[in-house]
Amino acid sequence: MRYIVMSGTSDATKVIEFLSQDENNYILATTVTDYGGKIAESAGATEVITHALKKEDFVELIHEKNIDTLIDATHPFAAVATETAIESSEKAGINYIRYERASTILPESELIYKVNSFEEGAIKSKELIDKNDGKLMHLAGVLNLNKITEVVGPENVVPRVLPNIFSITKTQDTGVPAANIVAMQGTYSKEFNMAIMKEYNIKAIITKESGESGGAENKINAALELGIPVVLITRPKVEKLNNHIMVRSIKELKEII
């Protein structure tokens, strides 16, 4: 079989590793960064593309590489990418599968404030740290960090970002002081998250409802145990997914391909 795997997440890495177990499979991984491309290659991708693709680019690739199935393993918040993947698959007449991690299991707490956008999250975050006199820990990725710093103030934000040039440069461009940048990769225990929050005098956190693979539960539980309010950006809804296959695990994926 010949696959395109839309990559850039830990979920995509699992998908590629699974597909590459069959040496007859051709796996074309697409991602928007060189860093993501290296991870996809290490996972077993046959070929890697490391720049953004439009619908017409995907359609052309599908025909050129004789692709049978497109597996969309992009982040739950990459709604535009998912819509592009669905439209491309439909136009090219191939199978589309959405691989999306399970939703975060949230405890019942009055300290969790659900919002629908980064703009709404920024306003709520400023309200919380102004009230409690401390800093905001940003745990929602660098691409939307500027939407938070513009409202909260870069000096009041402690972002946790990946330790690569792209992420750190993006963070510095927002004006966040170097002393506030926590550069680290991976998911961590509740206790480790608590230690960082204490160290930086965190009085609120903002995170995305990214699911277990993104470590959201440990971040949220750490904050709640310390009595720190959580601003939670909920997942966007992609209406186009309603008529397409979605799987939540490699086991489910294995059953349908």
Q: What is the mean pLDDT of residues 206-225?
A: 81
Residue 214: predicted pLDDT: 54
Q: How confident is the model at residue 7 (pLDDT cuts 50, 70, 90)?
A: very high
Q: For residue range 147-196, what is the model confidence (pLDDT) as tens digits?
A: 999 999 999 999 999 998 989 999 999 999 999 999 998 778 889 999 99
Alpha-carbon distance of 187 to 209, in angstroms, equals: 14
Q: How confident is the model at residue 48 (pLDDT cuts 50, 70, 90)?
A: very high
Task: State pTM to two decimals.
Answer: 0.74
39 pLDDT exceeds 90? yes
38 pLDDT exceeds 90? yes
Strands 112-115 and 202-208: unpaired
Residue whose pair of structure tokens reads 């294995």 in the numeric block: 254
Q: How confident is the model at residue 144 (pLDDT cuts 50, 70, 90)?
A: very high
